[in-house]
Amino acid sequence: MERYDVVLISPPSRAINHFRPPMSLIYLGGYLKYRGLKVKIIDPTMKDIVRDNKFYNHRDLLINSIRLSIIHEIQQTTTRYVGISCYSGEVEEVKSLIGDIRRYSSAKIVVGGVHPTLNPLEFKDYADEIVVGEGEVALYNILMGNPPEEYKIHDIESISHPDYSLIDVDYYTRPNPYSIRGMFLSTSYILASRGCPASCKFCVAPRLRPYFGTGRYRDVFSIIKEIIHLRDTYHIDGFYFLDDYFTLNKKLVLEFCKYMRNLNTGLVWACNSKVNIDEELIEAVASAGCIQMDFGVERGSDRSLREVNKGQTVEQIKNTFRLCKKYGVRTFANMLVNIKGETLEDYDDIINLLNEIKPTIFSVNNYVKYDGALLEEGIGQLKAIGTKECPANRVYLDLWKHIRAHVNMRYIRLVWKSHKRIEYLKQFGLLIKEVFLQCRR
């Protein structure tokens, strides 16, 4: 059996996410390899499973089979340490996985991620080591037997050594409509920064700020170098900035856009942003290949936006969506319901705002309170906004607008020049089958 210094594991339920790679493990593993250690990532994928009724009816069985495959791989591997990442919704799943691993391996268990950072005592009876905050340096010190040091935020450039070869990149870069949502493309995810300065009450970011900062950016040249590597090695046609708030540093974004225009990479991309950006920035990203911007619109009135401490106004939302339309940038609007005390008036405000800003695509998120968030959870009386009964759905989930985006010459040229032309056809067939089966549910 091959021997490793550490094996990093994604919880089983993450395998059912659509083409979302384990970015935290890619960074952890890459840093440890950079420091000379031998690393393995266990990250089972779904391959060609179609999400039909059988999938939804047997979801738990599928996750269990993924868990068994992780245990089997652990049995075939020799390692001193096993590291597991954990979100708040995965606590019981990770505890159960730790118990399974201990039955077959003598490796020490290290747990890290958002939930252990916010609630380290949750795993005191389960894990040998608990990493609070960013894991790169802390995990390296654990593996090297160094004494724990007082937590500090490290220079982001010094710890950013993502290694995509540790995962099944061919799977994650298959053409799909889930990265740049609504656009069928072969893409990869990129992290240009860490931390968020916003204080939204529904988010745990304010509680995580002591560990990740308020928006630390990598060097532009480093970001560009990673993008070119992904293009030349894995033949991606686009990428998505997974940052909480990519457009926070306007000067850096403008510099990045200048490089992208000069290099003429042929890639398209998308990013997350707040709506308080100006026309200069929107024009710059559009000219540099950005085809979509995702915004946390959340609510439909200034009053309800203040209630969640969003730090934006309805007028800013309207202006930014107008400018995106002016420069041909698609828009994705994230909306939020199930907040304590919300009324039918809040529902109407959201519908009216959607009717005015006309996003290319939107998503309604039913708020669930996690540890660290300040906002109280409601009782779900407005979640119908995300169902077929909602009038906005009939307008903004119209398939024709997405079909139209895929029959223009820019998209056709991109696919024709792609190294993955055949893969586009194969994956498109699976997508059509999935959409058809979803419509029948």
Tell me: do 130 and 221 sit in the same domain: no
Q: Side-chain half-sphere of 89: how many Cα atoms within 13 Å?
A: 5
- Does 345 map to a domain? yes
pTM of this structure? 0.92
CATH of the domain at 33: 3.40.50.280
CB 4 within 8 A of CB 77: yes
Tell me: do 323 and 378 sit in the same domain: yes
Q: What b/e sequence results for 374-403 when a residue is b if at least 16 CB atoms lie within 10 Å of its CB, and e otherwise?
A: ebeebeeebbebbeeebebbeebeeeeebe
- Does 194 map to a domain? yes
CB 207 within 8 A of CB 118: yes
Tell me: do 58 and 30 sit in the same domain: yes
Dihedral sign, CA of 363, 273, 289, 167? negative
- Does 126 map to a domain? yes
Tell me: do 99 and 7 sit in the same domain: yes
Looking at every residue in the chain, the average pLDDT score rounds to: 90
How far apart are the C-alpha atoms of 108 and 289, rounded to whole Å?
46
- Does 168 map to a domain? no
- Does 165 map to a domain? no
Domain that holds residue 417: 173-426
DSSP states along 90-115: GHHHHHHHHHHHHHH--PEEEEESHH
CATH of the domain at 377: 3.20.20.70
**End-of-domain residue from the set 130, 159, 188:** 159
- Does 436 map to a domain? no
How far apart are the C-alpha atoms of 273 and 198, rounded to whole Å?
11
Tell me: do 326 and 378 sit in the same domain: yes
**End-of-domain residue from the set 129, 159, 189:** 159
Tell me: do 108 and 195 sit in the same domain: no
- Does 268 map to a domain? yes
How far apart are the C-alpha atoms of 272 and 277, rounded to whole Å?
12
Structural domain tally of the chain?
A: 2
Backbone phi and psi for residue 271, each to the nearest 5 degrees, phi listed first = -160, 165
- Does 437 map to a domain? no
pLDDT of residue 48: 63
Tell me: do 146 and 219 sit in the same domain: no
Tell me: do 287 and 352 sit in the same domain: yes
Tell me: do 216 and 149 sit in the same domain: no
Tell me: do 204 and 155 sit in the same domain: no
Strand partners, 193: 217
CA angle 138, 142, 147 (to 5 degrees): 90
Per-residue pLDDT tens, the chain, 441 aa: give them: 789 999 999 999 998 877 899 999 999 999 999 999 999 999 998 776 666 667 777 788 888 889 999 999 999 999 999 999 999 999 999 999 999 999 999 999 999 999 999 999 999 999 999 999 999 999 999 999 998 777 888 999 999 999 999 999 999 999 988 899 889 999 999 999 999 999 999 999 999 999 998 889 999 999 999 999 999 999 999 999 999 999 999 999 999 999 999 999 999 999 999 999 999 999 999 999 999 999 999 999 999 999 999 999 999 999 999 999 999 999 999 999 888 888 889 988 998 999 999 999 888 888 888 888 989 888 665 555 555 555 555 554 555 667 778 888 889 999 999 999 999 988 877 667 665 555 555
**End-of-domain residue from the set 159, 192, 223:** 159
Tell me: do 93 and 181 sit in the same domain: no
Tell me: do 221 and 264 sit in the same domain: yes
pLDDT of residue 220: 97
